[in-house]
Structure 1
Amino acid sequence: MTESENRPFEGQALKDILHELARINATAGGLRYSLDPITDEDRKAGAEPLTPEQIQEDLTDIMRVLTGVVVNHLRAKPAEWYAANDEIL
């Protein structure tokens, strides 16, 4: 079996799902770095800590994009996705 025969996605489908996953990664990475402590140098440059609302906005975006990947790319039914989440919680 070749490597491509083991891959569930190829071509544009793979490109699309990788794009969505990269959006999640970028949002999570940006949030992670934004939560680092602000140095005196950062404060002098005008940086301010994130507000809870800003954090919630990023987390909501991560959840929305991830759900889109599951439903649109993996073709899971919403009920299946909710059930999988219920098993975790």
Structure 2
Amino acid sequence: MPRKKSAGPRSFGEPLTDDPDDAPELLDEFFRTGEIRVDGKIVRRGRPPLGTQPKSSVTLRLDADVLDAYRALGRGWQSQINADLRRVRKLKKA
């Protein structure tokens, strides 16, 4: 199979600056701590931490027609199951 030709540097767009020495220097401290800071504040990746009472993941077996009815609601169908169970059990929101 023949090798594909590289698109080269054009595929990455225009350089941010004309001078590569303008890029910020990555110091040893950056690699030790692994922190990225913007205006002195640490920027964390991933999902933010949940509140004081995070939800638990469970496996629940439901009849096919019940599951189909909830999934037909679209986005948030699992939250709707949670809301319906709260209403039936007369539970207050945490």
Please, what TM-score do these two structures have when normalized by structure 2?
0.24
**TM-score, normalised with respect to structure 1:** 0.25
Greater RCO between the two (CA within 8 Å, min separation 6)? 1
Q: Who wins on radius of gyration, i.e. which is larger? A: 2
Bigger strand share: 2
Normalized per residue, which structure has more helix?
1
